[in-house]
Amino acid sequence: MSQVNRDEVRAGAIDAIEAAREAILGVGDAIHAHPEIGLEERYAADLLTSTIGNFGFEVEQGSGGLETAFRASRTGRGAGPRIAFLAEYDALPGLGHGCGHNLIASSNLAAAIGLGAVIDRLDGEVLFVGTPAEENAGGKAIMIENGAFRDIDVSLSSHHGGHETILPTAYPDGTCLAVSSRRFVYHGRTAHAAADPEQGINALNAVIHLFTGIDAMRQHVTPDARMHGIITDGGTAANVVPDLAAAEFLFRAASREAVDDLVARAEDVARGAAMMTGARLEIEAPSPDYDDMLPNYVLSQLVRDELAGVGLAETERPPASGPGAYSTDLGNVSRTMPTTALVFPISEVPINGHSREVVSGSISPMGRENALRTGKALALAAIELLIDAEAYRRVQAEFGQGSSAVAP
């Protein structure tokens, strides 16, 4: 790359974000005021694409086969790394923005505007990618499957962290659980439960055997495993043998392989329950598989280097001893390219995830300002990646080594 004035480029990005401050924060506020659940985020997708379009980005709607997904891009002066900032904007049913995804939207919008303003002085490309339905349908998993991430080299994103500012430091910090969903539907035969029970096939009995079988599995799984389910259909009247009963489960563990093993065993249990009762079994996967997150620690360090300059201070905490007991479709992205997320504070005090406190933190002066700071840190880290070929090489080298190099 020919000479780049690093300080000028960095200052240009920060100035652009500050100049767009009202627009950026207005987008986060508006999405907060119009909560939409996953795959229905039409208002948010329209607002984000029209806004980024005003900043010289070329916009593609409906990316990766999802109506409310999008990709916006601006190319630099020459070929180079293609860096994506990933927005989320789905809400939780009945709660609104109880996971603060409106601020994931505004912080990554800020980063895209910042880098976009200076990309013509750099070799590479900036992408702003809208990834729907993190909570309920694994939008990123579907988009990856459909090729929407195929030409991207590095992904950066963000998430609120309650009262904490966090970047993953070293394995297993920042890792989380892979998850798969299964819906088990049993079909039986109705009959009068007292007059001719011998004629009935009780689908609810099959679901009950399914639950006791999975509970028995719990004795023989690793401590990271989580298996939790609900009965969605269990009959309609006590005097009718239920001919339809169904349950939905989530299976989680620290690796994709371990989850696949849990699911295979649970499906055997489900088939056993069908045989025990004579009910017919159908197995469905309501949402795509989420992979366990493998953050890129070199990339995280590049973002960490920017924290103090934008006014964020990393929270002191003990080293992680294992994966976080949650799941995210950012994990799928982290398995296809170097990825990290900056976790930023929206509250002075600890708060629960998926709570009313997150709803108010995501519209608070502190949450909004920290989203903007997060956008600045992500933009500056991306600039370093585009200027410093050696840093980019180290990021890709760590990704190339994969989890085998860092897993114990």
Q: Which stretch binds Zn ion (CB under 5 A): 22-30, 98-106, 238-246, 309-317?
A: 98-106
Nearer to Zn ion, 99 or 119 (CB): 99
In whole angstroms, the minimum distance from the beta carbon of 48 to Zn ion comes to: 17
Angle, CA of 228, 230 and 232, to the nearest 5°: 155
Q: How far is the CB of 326 from Zn ion (least distance, A)?
A: 9
Q: Near Zn ion by CB under 5 A, which window of 37-45, 91-99, 208-216, 220-228? A: 91-99
C-alpha–C-alpha distance, residues 265 and 252, integer Å: 13
As measured in angstroms, the least distance from the Cβ of 115 to Zn ion is: 23
| C-beta closer to Zn ion: residue 99 or 247 | 99
Instruction: Output 86 or 270, the one with its CB closest to Zn ion.
Output: 86
Nearer Cβ to Zn ion, position 73 or 347?
A: 347
Task: Identify whether 350 is preceded by a cis peptide bond (ω within 30 of 0).
Answer: no
Min dist. Cβ of residue 168 to Zn ion (A): 16
Q: Which residues have a Cβ under 8 Å from the Cβ of 76 and sit 6 or more positions away?
A: 119, 120, 121, 122, 123, 124, 125, 126, 386
Q: Is 158 helix (H, G, I), strand (E, B) or coil?
A: strand
Checking DSSP bridges between strand 78-87 and strand 123-130, what pairing results, if any?
parallel
Residue nearest to Zn ion (CB): 99
CA dihedral 263, 267, 270, 276 (to 10 degrees): -140
Using the rule CB under 5 A, is 99 a contact of Zn ion?
yes
Torsion of CA 209, 215, 221, 224, to 10 degrees: 130
Residues 28-87 that bind Zn ion (CB under 5 A): none
The residue type found at 164 is: E
Residue among 160 and 335 whose Cβ is closer to Zn ion: 160
Nearest approach, Cβ of residue 375 and Zn ion (Å): 17
Q: Which is nearer to Zn ion, 74 or 226 (CB)?
A: 226
Site size for Zn ion (CB under 5 A): 1
133: helix, coil or strand?
coil
Piece in contact with Zn ion (CB under 5 A), picked from 53-61, 97-105, 215-223, 294-302: 97-105
Q: Please report how close the Cβ of residue 367 comes to Zn ion at its closest, in angstroms.
A: 13
Helix (H) or strand (E) holding 254: none
Task: Provide, rounded to whole angstroms, the least separation between the CB of residue 101 and Zn ion.
Answer: 6
Bridge pairing between strands 244-253 and 280-284? unpaired
The footprint of Zn ion on residues 300-359 (CB under 5 A) is none
Stretch that binds Zn ion, among 31-39, 96-104, 118-126, 299-307 (CB under 5 A): 96-104
Residue indicated by tokens 């080293």: 319
Classify residue 187 as exposed, middle or buried by CB count within 10 Å of its CB (0-12, 13-18, 19+): middle
Nearer to Zn ion, 99 or 378 (CB): 99
User: What Rg value do the Cα atoms of the chain yield, rounded?
Assistant: 23
In the chain, % helix, strand, coil (3-state, to 5) comes to: 45, 20, 35
When the beta carbons of 74 and 101 are compared against Zn ion, the nearer one is 101
Smallest gap from Cβ 271 to Zn ion, in A, equals 35
The H or E element containing residue 181 is strand 178-187
Minimum CB separation of residue 62 from Zn ion in Å reads 23
Angle at 328 between CA 220 and CA 150, to 5 degrees: 120
Which is closer to Zn ion, CB of 35 or CB of 213?
35
**Residues near Zn ion (CB under 5 A):** 99
